[in-house]
Amino acid sequence: MKTQVKKIRDLNIDIGIIKEAGHIIKGGDLVAFPTETVYGLGADGLNEEAVKKIYLAKGRPSDNPLILHIDSISMLERLVKEVTEEAKLLIEAFWPGPLTIVLKKNSLVPSIISAGLDSVAIRMPNNPIALALIKETNTPIAAPSANTSGRPSPTRPDHVLEDMVDKIPLIIDGGETGVGLESTVIDLSENTPLILRPGGVTIEEIKKILPNVRLDPGLVENDKLNLIPKSPGQKYRHYAPKAQMVLYVGKREDRLDAIVKRAEKESAKGKKVGILGFEENKDSFKDFPHLILGLESDKAKIAHVLFDSLRRLDDLGLDLILCEGLDSDNIGMAIMNRLEKASGGNIVYV
């Protein structure tokens, strides 16, 4: 299959591309499209055969459920048993936007979407191209991030092409995505609201609306207690560069000291070692190859470039990557979650 890439810069002018993409999705095939978080790999969420193609193209384990993308509250009401009071408050505050809400599903949602669970994850993306595509198809669009399973999520059309070339008929190029990390996933299907994946909407913001919100214990204590996260996607190694990566967490001086010592030790053994770190600290990295994520003080920018940086690390041909951690307040929590996954839990606390 030949993959076409079509650019949309002005929806009024390029509306033909939305019509073509809608036609492909209604016909049971896949289209990659931009959202405000990362690119999604979209299929008609009510067509089982089409959704199977998503799992195939990504090489995704079949026990990892998908998010349905919607453009209206009436579409939401058709998919769930009940839009709870808590859900209404969050929708009012954050939709359209990077928040995915898990609710009890109703029978219209095929079990391939929920991977057999009795709940379904839903969000309304804040991107005009995504919203126009959902409107055109008039169906909830199932869309995981448009990467090969395990690789960093795509924030640019060329990332999608890298992973999906000749596997899907169409990629809509809408430029770089804004947030750069995936949506926050919150489970409202049980008694206590539970964050299953930190993302674009921060826990601090959610707490203002739902003060009783909790973090999934499987998320925080994963390695220490060996708990299994409730969001199946959180249990896999993910976002991983090809080289082994180690994440260093702790005070600035101690962290830099530990990184440079390790780099010197490993390179003396003949390993090619690189550093992933922050602008403020680049003078400490000596002559080791490094990639700068941006200013530690500008977390939104770091979130925006993180996945592209993880992909570009592969081009440096390294054996070992030593990476700086940062404070996990606000969007820092989502950044640290992705870095923990990218390092496969290989974390040094200094």
Are the C-beta atoms of residues 115 and 52 closer than 8 Å to each other?
Answer: no
Window 86-115: contact mask with ligand TXA (x via CB under 6 A): ------------x-x-x-----------x-
Enumerate residues 9-38 that contact ligand TXA by CB under 6 A.
35, 37-38
Rounded to a whole number of angstroms, the minimum distance from the CB of residue 186 to ligand TXA is: 10
Cα 143 off chain centre by: 11
Told to check if 343 binds Mg ion by CB under 5 A, we report no
Closest residue to ligand TXA, based on beta-carbon distance: 233
Which class for 292: exposed (0-12), middle (13-18), buried (19 or more C-beta within 10 A)?
A: middle
Are the C-beta atoms of residues 52 and 29 closer than 8 Å to each other?
Answer: no
Of 79-87, 113-121, 143-151, 210-218, which segment contacts Mg ion by CB under 5 A?
143-151
Sign of CA dihedral 147, 167, 21, 65: negative
Choice between 245 and 320, CB closer to Mg ion: 245
What is the enclosing helix (H) or strand (E) of 54? helix 48-58
Rounded to a whole number of angstroms, the minimum distance from the CB of residue 123 to ligand TXA is: 6
Are the C-beta atoms of residues 144 and 65 closer than 8 Å to each other?
Answer: no
Told to check if 145 binds Mg ion by CB under 5 A, we report yes
Window 181-220: contact mask with ligand TXA (x via CB under 6 A): -xx-x----------xx-----------------------
Window 216-255: contact mask with Mg ion (x via CB under 5 A): ----------------------------------------
What is the enclosing helix (H) or strand (E) of 16? helix 15-26
Told to check if 177 binds Mg ion by CB under 5 A, we report no
Q: Provide the residue type at 161 as one letter.
A: L
DSSP string, 223-291: HHH-PPPSSGGGGS--S--SSEEEEEES-HHHHHHHHHHHHHHHHHTT--EEEEE-GGGGGGGTTS-EE
| Beta-bridge partner residues of 197 | 185
Window 255-294: contact mask with ligand TXA (x via CB under 6 A): ----------------------------------------
Residues that bind Mg ion (CB under 5 A): 145
Give the footprint of ligand TXA on this chain (CB under 6 A).
35, 37-38, 40, 64-67, 98, 100, 102, 114, 117, 119-121, 125, 143-145, 182-183, 185, 196-197, 230-234
